[in-house]
Structures are given as structure tokens and as C-alpha cells.
């Protein structure tokens, strides 16, 4: 009887191991921030939660600011992936704006990393921290994306032509920001009726 030879398992590269450790450290940081606040996310507690040493956290991110900037980038990428999965580019401009809001609010209640993002942002604003800059840049990207969707909807004739596209984008962004902040204050808030009401109100306000 001939023995079946198994193919050797592929060896992970140093880059693979680095990416995995960074991902696990960032996930641990987000969990700590969402559960206990920014002050709880010390390098020691992050390393312990992720199963690594405090020294590795320092090696990967250098400083608390480096860690937070990496976490902001990770959370931005998560939201972007959720939006890409919704295929907004295949929808009309109006439906794409509504889809953006729907994806965001639909995941706000269940995504702990999104909660961590807004906890970090609230801390940066209240402390007049230099970290306000990366948050401002991230929100500007959202504004630009929403403005482009509104302009597309106007060119398609599905969004009222008289609306200022930039003002619409800012208003939608402010709605999402306000609800995200309110959820920090009231974690038990039921977002489902708010999501439904927001979508209905925005559709009625913007439709041509």
C-alpha cells in the first residue's frame, strides 16, 4: 500500500508574520478602546491582549500617536471595504448616497472597531490633540466622495438640481458623525428606527 505524501505547508514570509502581528495588535487596541476607553490602550495591555510583548507594540508603531494613526487607517479601510461590497458605483447617484448611509448606520451598532474610531476622535477633539489632523483628512475624503455621488445624481436627474452638492455632502456627513457620537453617549440606543427614518428623510429631501 503506497503512503500518501502530503505537500509541505507553505512557509510564511517575514512580511506575512509582520502583517499578522500588526493586525492582531491593532484589533486588540480597538477592542480595549471600545470597551474601556483610550487610556486603557497602553502598550502593555495591547500586547497582553494580542498575545505579544509590550516591546513588539513599540517596535511596530513607535509611539502612541503612531499606533493611533495606524488604527485610524485600519478603521478607514474597514469602512471602505464595506462600501465596496455594496457596489455603490453601480447604483444611481441618489441610491449610492442612501447606500452609503445605510452601510454606515447598519454597521455602527455591531462594529466595535467603528466605536473605537469615534472614541479616538472624541478624545482628539476634546484634548485639542495633533491627532485631529488625520481625522479631519479622513472626513474630508468622505465629504469629497459624497459630493461626487450627489453631482452624479444631479447629472442623472435623480437628485434635485438646485441643491448645493458640497452642502449636501457636509449635511450627510454631519448626520453620521452626530449619530456616531450620540451612540458613544448612549450605547443602548436603538439605531434601526433611526436608520430607517434617516434614509426616508434623505430620500424625500434630495429626490428630483
Question: Which CATH number do you get for residue 144?
Answer: 1.10.357.10
Number of structural domains found in the chain: 2
Same domain flag for 40 and 73: no
pLDDT of residue 24: 92
Same domain flag for 82 and 22: no
Whole-angstrom Cα distance, residue 11 to residue 64?
32
Does residue 133 sit within a domain?
yes
Same domain flag for 129 and 36: no
pLDDT of residue 161: 96
DSSP state of 187: T
Does residue 5 sit within a domain?
no
Same domain flag for 72 and 52: no
Domain final position from 30, 62, 94: 62
| Long-range contacts at 81-88 (CB < 8 A, ≥ 24 apart) | 82/107, 88/149
Same domain flag for 57 and 91: no
The dihedrals phi and psi of 54, each to the nearest 5 degrees, come to -60, -35
Whole-angstrom Cα distance, residue 161 to residue 153?
9
Q: Are 104 and 198 in contact (CB under 8 A)?
A: no
Q: Say what the pTM is.
A: 0.81
Question: What is the separation of C-alpha 177 from the centre of its chain, rounded to a whole number of angstroms?
Answer: 11
Whole-angstrom Cα distance, residue 34 to residue 39?
11
pLDDT of residue 35: 86
Does residue 3 sit within a domain?
no
Does residue 73 sit within a domain?
yes
Nearest residue to 78 via CA among 45, 54, 47, 103: 103
Same domain flag for 102 and 161: yes
Enclosing domain of residue 185: 68-206
Nearest residue to 180 via CA among 89, 107, 115: 115
Same domain flag for 176 and 193: yes
Whole-angstrom Cα distance, residue 161 to residue 81?
30
Does residue 8 sit within a domain?
no
Same domain flag for 75 and 46: no
DSSP 44-107: HHHHHHHTS-HHHHHHHHSSHHHHHHHHHHHHHHHHHHHHHHTTGGGS-HHHHHHHHHHHHHHH
Does residue 2 sit within a domain?
no
Same domain flag for 144 and 92: yes
pLDDT tens track of the chain, all 208 residues?
A: 455 555 555 567 888 888 888 889 999 998 898 888 888 888 999 999 999 888 888 998 888 888 888 888 888 888 888 888 989 989 999 999 999 999 999 888 777 788 888 888 888 777 767 778 888 888 898 999 999 999 999 999 999 999 999 999 999 999 999 998 898 889 888 999 999 999 999 999 999 9
Distances in Å between the Cα of 81 and the Cα atoms of 64, 111, 198 are 26, 13, 22
Secondary structure tally for the chain: helices H, strands E: 9, 0
CATH of residue 53's domain is 1.10.10
Amino acid at each position: 500500500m503506497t503512503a500518501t505524501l502530503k505537500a509541505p505547508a507553505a512557509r510564511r514570509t517575514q512580511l506575512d508574520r509582520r502583517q499578522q502581528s500588526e493586525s492582531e495588535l491593532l484589533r486588540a487596541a480597538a477592542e480595549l478602546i471600545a470597551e474601556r476607553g483610550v487610556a486603557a490602550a497602553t502598550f502593555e495591555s495591547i500586547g497582553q491582549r494580542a498575545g505579544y510583548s509590550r516591546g513588539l507594540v513599540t517596535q511596530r508603531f513607535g509611539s502612541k500617536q503612531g499606533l493611533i494613526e495606524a488604527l485610524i487607517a485600519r478603521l478607514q479601510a474597514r469602512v471602505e471595504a464595506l462600501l465596496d461590497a455594496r457596489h455603490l458605483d453601480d447604483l444611481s447617484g441618489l441610491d449610492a448616497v442612501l447606500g452609503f448611509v445605510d452601510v454606515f448606520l447598519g454597521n455602527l451598532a455591531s462594529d466595535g472597531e467603528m466605536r473605537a474610531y469615534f472614541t479616538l476622535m472624541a478624545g482628539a477633539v476634546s484634548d485639542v490633540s495633533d491627532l485631529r489632523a488625520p481625522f479631519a483628512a479622513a472626513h474630508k475624503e468622505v465629504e469629497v466622495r459624497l459630493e461626487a455621488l450627489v453631482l452624479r445624481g444631479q447629472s442623472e436627474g435623480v437628485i434635485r438640481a438646485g441643491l448645493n452638492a458640497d452642502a449636501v455632502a457636509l449635511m450627510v456627513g454631519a448626520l453620521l458623525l452626530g449619530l456616531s457620537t450620540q451612540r458613544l453617549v448612549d450605547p443602548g440606543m436603538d439605531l434601526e428606527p433611526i436608520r430607517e427614518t434617516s434614509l426616508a428623510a434623505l430620500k424625500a429631501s434630495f429626490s428630483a
